Structure 1
């Protein structure tokens, strides 16, 4: 499982001209899933996300977590995070999990993040054509791969 975490001042997701998710201070999380991903990957990642100290303290030093700042989160499914670009100019998405595997893991990720954060999170819609808007704060953008924990 691979994620891109972006610290935001605000973010939203629009589908068919309807805003389906909107937050102020918090994290926009792009989530890519592969066939080999498991609940263990989800548990590790959601714990990492809520405790990642990337928010400024009173001295503007990144010492606070999403929990510490009572921030919100939006999760957006993003199969293109697993694009293979080694050969040619057309990315291959062969590594991305097919919907029968990805959808249950996506929903499990949402549930786990909600539990770890202690409040509801927002999300896009799996496989929808989404328009994602954000005001990246910092900017702070971090890529985390659950397969590279060591």
Structure 2
């Protein structure tokens, strides 16, 4: 088990967000839910203060810290996807309920977190031995929102 786990700050949505995230990937689950014992800026006594959860084997903490702070692109979570079906499934789930798609496989979910939904084949196309093909694949990716593996492959191959 890692000694380091990200702490995600929410304003009353920690339990809802954690439950949503663990529904997305195998090897995920809610580990503990800690309630406020007294009224505080984080919420009333009895409300959820901290949710510890595991997402694809990585431990996280969700904190209802009170005032909402906005997340930025400076910290995002990358999910490596084995195929287009996984890219599509995760993309659709993460933008559901108010998420926003962005360029190059990035999105912002309804809780404000930034994600990169990335096919594991991407390095093959962007860093392959064929430099001209890699350049074409990069240009194709820069035009995409959700990444399309077949289109990246076609661009790399020159089609």
Question: Which is helix-richer, 1 or 2?
Answer: 2
TM class by shorter-chain length? under 0.3
- Determine which structure has the larger strand proportion and give its number: 1
Larger Rg: 2
Scaled by the length of structure 1, the TM-score of the pair is 0.26
With CA pairs under 8 Å and 6+ residues apart, which has the higher RCO, 1 or 2?
Answer: 1
